[in-house]
Structure 1
Amino acid sequence: MKTIIVRLTILCLGLAFASLLFISVSDAQLDMKGVVAIWLLDEGKGNKVTDASGNAHDGGFKSGEPKWVDGMFGKALSFDGVDDWVEMNAPVVVDTVDFTMGCWVNPGKTQKTWTNILSSHQEPPRRGIS
């Protein structure tokens, strides 16, 4: 009986290790046709946020000097949750009813009131990422 258990254990371990040979790692693919803007917010210096999509939806940091911190991948922007935002030169999402947004967010503390990550206003003074 012990021999059968040992053989089954070895067989199971062998199959588990063999299955690892067929696992592959790949990068996610992004279909750039529908991409409006990509802001990595990883510049690490300056007051400009560059649109990595190539659509020239660059923006500028408002309310003083930006606070650059170490992020998930390189540098990141730290917003104080009060009066910091990135303003775009023109509205980015205007005629789009449905859209998808993805981002890394690290809330430093719990707030008592709501705050927005992305706001789309058609008129200044606040237009862009807040």
Structure 2
Amino acid sequence: MKIKLLLFIFVVSLMLIGYVNAFDIKTAFLIYTFEEGAGDKVKDVSGNGNDGIIKGANAKWVKGKNGGGLFLGGANHSINTTTVNGVGKTYFSECLWANFENLST
């Protein structure tokens, strides 16, 4: 049974490989790298000027998986931007890496 399941997952994975597209930084409308390390703003490195403002009293800069990171320790923490230049295109993708410390709350 386990071998059939692994074989099924492998075959489905091979079929999906054709749908993977490379990330093109020239067409991105928002990229936060969280490399600032201090302050209450995050810089949009896409060149579109979509910088964000960090909201939340307990937000703090931390070491990330690859460089910097931002710890948002509660439900009332966010990164806000007034407008996002470039949104409105027909298709877009989003990606993030998150490290959840406690999912029970």
TM range (shorter): 0.5 to 0.7
Which residue pairs with 1:108 in the alignment?
101
Distance 1:92 1:79 in 2: 24
Matched, 1:37 2:30: yes
> Contact 1:35–1:53 at 8 Å: present in 2 too?
yes
| Secondary structure class of the residue paired with 1:101 | coil
Structure number with greater Rg is: 1
In 2, are the aligned partners of 1:42 and 1:77 still within 8 Å (CA)? Answer: no
Q: Which of 93, 98, 120 does residue 91 from structure 2 map onto?
A: 98
- Paired residues in the alignment total 84
- Structure 1 unaligned regions, length at least 5: 1-28, 113-130
Q: 4+ runs of 1 displaced by more than 6 Å?
A: none
Residue 82 of structure 1: which of 75, 87, 90 is its match? Answer: 75
Looking at structure 2, the residues matched to 68 and 100 of structure 1 have their Cα atoms a distance apart, in angstroms, of: 26
Structure 1 residue 97: deviation in Å? 4.8
Using a 3 Å threshold, how does the CA distance of structure 1 residues 108 and 95 change in structure 2: closer, same or farther?
Answer: same
Name the Cα RMSD after superposition. 2.1
- TM-score, normalised by the number of residues in structure 2: 0.67
Q: Do the aligned partners of residues 70 and 93 (structure 1) sit closer, same or farther apart at CA in structure 2, a change above 3 Å counting?
A: same
Alpha-carbon separation, structure 2, partners of 1:50 and 1:65: 19
Do 1:50 and 1:58's aligned partners in 2 also have CA atoms closer than 8 Å?
Answer: yes
> Residues 38 and 100 of structure 1: is their aligned pair in 2 closer, same or farther, counting only changes over 3 Å?
same
Match of 2:44 among 39, 51, 60: 51
Stretches of structure 2 lacking an aligned partner (at least 5 in a row): 1-21
Query: Which residue identity is paired with 1:64?
Result: A
Identical-pair percentage: 31
